[in-house]
Amino acid sequence: MKATAETITRRERSFTAYQFESVEFEHPYHFHHETELVFITKGHGKVLVGNSTANFCEGDIFLIGADVPHRFTSYSANAKHPLCSYVLQFTPDCFGSLFVDTPELSRIAQMISDSRHGLVIRSAPTYLFDSINNLIDSQGVSSVIQFLSLLSEISKLGQCEYLANHTDTQIEVQPSTKISASIDWMQNNYHREFDLEAIATRTSMNKNAFCRAFKNHTGQSPMSYITQIRSEAAAKLLLETKLGVADIGFRVGFSTVSSFNRNFRQYHGTSPSAYRKMTAIFAD
The reported pLDDT for the residue numbered 24 is 82
CA distance 274 to 51: 55
C-alpha–C-alpha distance, residues 112 and 99, integer Å: 9
In degrees and rounded to multiples of 5, residue 268 shows phi and psi of -120, -5
DSSP tag of 4: E
Per-residue pLDDT of the chain (284 residues), as tens digits, is: 677 777 777 667 889 999 999 888 777 888 888 899 999 999 999 999 887 889 999 999 999 998 888 999 987 766 667 889 999 999 888 887 788 788 888 899 999 988 988 999 999 999 999 999 999 999 999 999 999 999 999 999 877 888 875 444 444 455 666 787 788 888 888 998 888 887 887 776 788 888 988 888 888 999 999 999 999 999 999 988 999 999 999 999 999 999 999 999 998 999 999 999 888 776 55
User: Dmax over Cα atoms in the chain, in whole Å?
Assistant: 62
> Which of helix, strand or coil describes residue 227?
helix
Beta-strand relationship, 35-42 and 83-90: antiparallel
Sequence-separated (6 or more) residues with CB below 8 Å from residue 256: 249
Indicate the pTM of the whole model.
Answer: 0.62
In the chain, count H helices and then E strands.
11, 11
At 206 the three-state DSSP class reads coil
Q: Which long-range contacts (CB under 8 A, 24 or more apart) does 57-61 make?
A: 59/122, 59/123, 59/124, 60/120, 60/121, 60/122, 60/123, 60/124, 61/37, 61/120, 61/121, 61/124, 61/128, 61/154
Tell me how many degrees the CA angle 232-203-61 measures, rounded to the nearest 5.
105
H-type helices in 40-189, by residue range? 98-101, 106-114, 126-136, 140-155, 175-189
Q: For the chain, list the domains and their CATH numbers.
A: 4-162 (2.60.120.10), 174-284 (1.10.10.60)
Angstrom distance (rounded) from CA 36 to CA 89: 4
DSSP state of 42: E
pLDDT for position 182: 83
pLDDT of 172 reads 46
